[in-house]
Chain A
Amino acid sequence: MIDAARERIIDCDWHYQDSFKEVAAYMPEPWRTKYKHSNWDDAGVKQNLSSFFPTSTGDRQNYGKVVREHSNYPDEPEEPERVREGMDFLDIDVSLQISHLILAMGGVNADDKRVQAFTKGYVEYMLEEVLDPDDGVYGLAPMPYSDVEASLDILDRIEDEEAYVGACFVTAGASPPLGSRKYDPIYERCEDLDLPVVYHTGGSGLDEYVRAGYQEMIETHTLGFLESNMSQIVSVACQGIPEKYPDLDIVFMESGVTYIPGLISRLDEEYLKRPEEAPLLDTRPSEYITDFYFGTQPLEISARNELLELCFDMIGTDRLLYASDYPHWDFDSPSIINDLPMLDDDDRRAILAGNAEGVFGL
């Protein structure tokens, strides 16, 4: 086992607790004024959104059980200095900040530009107030991918900004799914800029995930967070994004690892029977998918060791990225990786930092 305190640790998924109140000042009009005078303020931070009466299948903090000592989450917007405090608590050297509020973008149905305005404002706000590469705090730029032009504008904006090391696509609610040719220009630009595409699962629509009527968050969170990523992995692979843009680094975040062997095994089985439906692929989809990178959180450490070992073997320890997801309710500490008995120390260092150094150029 390595002495994690003496090693470099890069956390590929930290959620900055952005609030509409702060980001609105950076948003273009009319949204700047609309949000400033709305009652949205900290909505989303408190996760009550429009709920006058709670309608969610579950409280993320598990009805008072889970509290966060080193973050304002979930009661107040975050303060930039608390990110460093939390990183010190977890002994993390570098973190990639991902917007908390953008995780809900899949639930936006309105035919206006609120998502575009929010992402534009968020990128500026984080640059101005939060991100600090000299202190190890980097960011992923959220893509309002349903609007390709707006997404390209954001990529143009961050092109020369050291603080942004990737583009984030929230997988929940993406329709058409993210392998669609509609998104090709975004992928092409990311490849040109050498910016990894980070697909991040999300909770929008979770309460009525695929079908309405689930009772508890244990059901909706287990299913929804998993399927939001699974659906996009299948789409991105089958539609040949890795063949179209071979130098594009692809990362999937926040669904653990145990789903991947099952998914790719099933997909390969289908592919061998109907390869004409994925004509851009030269070989089995699993060969492409195991070239993707995967955030480890929430790692299924209660599973049998031989299952995790098989997962790591099939995915490759050179493809796994430590991610905390702090301050969310199911965060992983670096010790989750360090304590795994089936890894050697080189693997531990690779997962905790080395792989991320390569992908994100850190």
Chain B
Amino acid sequence: MSDGLVEVGPATEFEDGDHAIVEVGRAEVGVVRADGEFYALRNQCPHDGGPVCKGIVQRELLGEFTGTGERVEQYYGEECIISCPWHGWSFELETGTHIGDERIQLPMYDVVVEDGIVYVDTGE
């Protein structure tokens, strides 16, 4: 570690949906690529401690009320989410917020890519 950066690996080794797990201090952190962007989140689901960053990455399924008596229109939005494989608790990758209750928050970390290498920036 230098300058508060924890090395994850070459950016080219990640496809969308891939993850890598690194130790940041005493915490296990998952680095996930979605839509070409990297996100880092605590790899510990606030529900039961499951490995949330090892879960499926997909766009969030949304529903819209389009009129009285109409079927709720469901569609996949822009937001990418990750779901804990133990029970399905799901979080926005941008914010770490639970998609069903914004009071539930997964700790997030900054990610930087320098010279093609992905790092978690601990801010230290």
Number of interface residues of B (CB under 8 A): 12
Number of interface residues of A (CB under 8 A): 13
A210 within 8 A of B: no
With contacts A64-B56, A65-B83 taken as known, whether A335 is within 8 angstroms of B48 at the C-beta atoms is: yes
Which chain B residues lie closer than 8 Å to A330 at the CB level?
87
Tell me the smallest distance from the CB of A71 to a CB of chain B, in Å.
12
B90 within 8 A of A: yes
Quick one: which of A65, A329, A331, A335 contacts B55, CB cutoff 8 A? A65
- Contact check, B48 vs A66: say whether CB atoms are below 8 A apart: no
Interface string of A56-86 (1 = CB under 8 A from B): 0000001011110100000000000000000
- Contact check, B90 vs A65: say whether CB atoms are below 8 A apart: yes
Tell me the smallest distance from the CB of B57 to a CB of chain A, in Å.
11
Which chain A residues lie closer than 8 Å to B87 at the CB level?
66, 329-331
A336 within 8 A of B: yes
- Contact check, A65 vs B48: say whether CB atoms are below 8 A apart: no
- Contact check, A65 vs B56: say whether CB atoms are below 8 A apart: yes
B49 within 8 A of A: yes
Tell me the smallest distance from the CB of B61 to a CB of chain A, in Å.
8
Which chain B residues lie closer than 8 Å to A67 at the CB level?
55-56, 85
Which chain A residues lie closer than 8 Å to B83 at the CB level?
62, 65-66
How far is B99's CA from A65's CA once the two chains are assembled, in angstroms?
14
B4 within 8 A of A: no
- Contact check, B49 vs A335: say whether CB atoms are below 8 A apart: yes
Which chain B residues lie closer than 8 Å to A65 at the CB level?
55-56, 83-85, 88, 90
Which chain A residues lie closer than 8 Å to B49 at the CB level?
333, 335
Tell me the smallest distance from the CB of B44 to a CB of chain A, in Å.
12
How far is B83's CA from A64's CA once the two chains are assembled, in angstroms?
9
Interface residues of B in 82-123 (CB under 8 A from A): 83-88, 90
Tell me the smallest distance from the CB of B56 to a CB of chain A, in Å.
5
Residue of A nearest to B51 (CB): A69
Interface residues of B in 19-57 (CB under 8 A from A): 48-49, 55-56
Which chain B residues lie closer than 8 Å to A331 at the CB level?
86-87
Interface residues of B in 48-83 (CB under 8 A from A): 48-49, 55-56, 58, 83
With contacts A65-B55, A65-B90 taken as known, whether A336 is within 8 angstroms of B48 at the C-beta atoms is: yes
Which chain B residues lie closer than 8 Å to A333 at the CB level?
48-49
Tell me the smallest distance from the CB of B16 to a CB of chain A, in Å.
15
Residue of A nearest to B101 (CB): A302
8 additional contacts (CB under 8 A) given A62-B88, A332-B48, A335-B48: A65-B83, A65-B88, A65-B90, A66-B85, A66-B86, A66-B88, A331-B86, A331-B87
